[in-house]
Structure 1
Amino acid sequence: MQQKPTRARILDAAHELMLTLGLSRATTKEIAKTAGCSEAALYKHFASKEELFVSVLQERLPRLNPRLRQLIEEPGERSVEENLVEIARLATHFYAESFPIGASLYADPKLKRRHEDSMRALGTGPHMPIEALDAYLRTERDAGRIAPDADTFAAASLLMGACAQRSFAYDATVAEQPPQPVEEFAAALARTLLKGISS
């Protein structure tokens, strides 16, 4: 059986170690070892650990931002409610997988600051899904499919915040389960939010 390309093995190893050890403890040395390559080979593909982290988020977790960009370009294909349900479902899965990776940053203020500086330099960060959803909702507002006075940024913040909070409150490692399955949660969240911004 043919071995995966080095870059793919590095991403797989980084994803696995960042999930199990957290971002701060998953060193590039350990990632390279798990991927079966040298640390020098890792740096041929990724300029920094932060770039590797962003690549893991973009290539190994649910594809939230690309779907949001697609909705901005083609907003009218389905109803606003259907789109919000899909976004809530994707965001819930995205935050459930990304929260365990990034949570360790909050234990080390210096590392968190360095990481935030790197995210800004790479033109990305946790604000991106909110801004993308805000942009999508503005297209729907301009098309008259939601209220003309709807606060789209507040609505985007509420939806993304609820999805992130669900992941924070119901960590997969605890026995207690969320009160609703993801599909029910996403539908209820979208329906409730839409009541506040409908025309």
Structure 2
Amino acid sequence: MQQKPTRARILDAAHDLMRTIGLARATTKEIAKAAGCSEAALYKHFASKEELFVAVLQERLPRLGPLLRRLAEDPGERSVEENLAEIARLASHFYAQSFPIAASLYAETKLKRRHEDSMQEMGTGPHMPIEALDAYLRTERDAGRIDPGADTFAAASLLLGACAQRAFAYDSAVGKQPPQPVDEFAAALARTLLAGISR
């Protein structure tokens, strides 16, 4: 059996370690060791641990960004409610998987600041999904499918904030299960949000 390419092994190892011991404790040395390569080989593919973290979010977690960009360009034939439910479902999965990875950052102020500075240099960060969802909702507002006075940024913040809060409140580590399955939650969230911004 042929071994995976080095970059893929590094991403797999980083995802596993970041998920199990947290971003703060997953060092590049440990990631390289788990990937079966040298730390120098890791740095041939990723300039920093922050860049590796972004790659894990983009390539190993549910793909929220591409969906939001696609919908902003072309909402498609589905209803706004169906699009919002799909966004909420995917966002719920994304935050449920990313929350355990990033949570350790909040325990170390210096590491969090360095991480935020790196994210800013790379032109990314946790604000990106909100801005992308805001762009999609503006497209729907311009098309007349939601109220012309709707505050699309507030609506985007509410939807994604609810998905992130679900991941925080029902983190699998604490053993408390959400009262609704994710599909039911996403549909209810989309319906409730749309009631506030529809024409």
Report if TM-score (shorter chain) is over 0.5: yes
Give me the whole-angstrom Cα distance separating, in 1, the residues matched to 2:32 and 2:171. 28
- Where structure 1 has 5 or more consecutive residues not aligned to the other structure, the ranges are none
Give me the whole-angstrom Cα distance separating, in 2, the residues matched to 1:119 and 1:196. 33
* Aligned residue in 2 for 1:88: 88
Give me the whole-angstrom Cα distance separating, in 1, the residues matched to 2:120 and 2:175. 37
RMSD of aligned residue pairs (Cα, Å): 0.5
Give me the whole-angstrom Cα distance separating, in 1, the residues matched to 2:101 and 2:173. 13
Can you list the C-alpha shifts for 1:7-57, whole angstroms capped at 9, x where unaligned?
A: 000000000000001000000000000000000000000000000000000
- Where structure 2 has 5 or more consecutive residues not aligned to the other structure, the ranges are none
Q: Aligned ranges for residues 8-27 of structure 1 at < 5 Å?
A: 8-27=8-27
Cα deviation for residue 145 of structure 1 reads: 0.1
* Aligned residue in 2 for 1:73: 73
Identity of aligned residues (%): 84
* Aligned residue in 2 for 1:171: 171
Q: TM-score, normalised by structure 1?
A: 0.99
Q: Which amino acid aligns with 1:77?
A: E
1:176 aligns to what SS in structure 2?
coil
Structure 1 runs of 4+ off > 3 angstroms?
none
* Aligned residue in 2 for 1:151: 151
Q: Aligned ranges for residues 74-153 of structure 1 at < 5 Å?
A: 74-153=74-153
Aligned residues: 199
Cα deviation for residue 174 of structure 1 reads: 2.3
Can you list the C-alpha shifts for 1:145-175, whole angstroms capped at 9, x where unaligned?
A: 0000000000000000000000000011222
Cα deviation for residue 73 of structure 1 reads: 1.1
Cα deviation for residue 74 of structure 1 reads: 1.0
Give me the whole-angstrom Cα distance separating, in 1, the residues matched to 2:176 and 2:68. 31
Q: Aligned ranges for residues 175-186 of structure 1 at < 5 Å?
A: 175-186=175-186
Give me the whole-angstrom Cα distance separating, in 2, the residues matched to 1:6 and 1:84. 37
Q: Which amino acid aligns with 2:6?
A: T
Cα deviation for residue 75 of structure 1 reads: 1.1
Can you list the C-alpha shifts for 1:68-112, whole angstroms capped at 9, x where unaligned?
A: 000011113211000000000000000000000000000001100
Q: TM-score, normalised by structure 2?
A: 0.99
2:173 aligns to what SS in structure 1?
coil
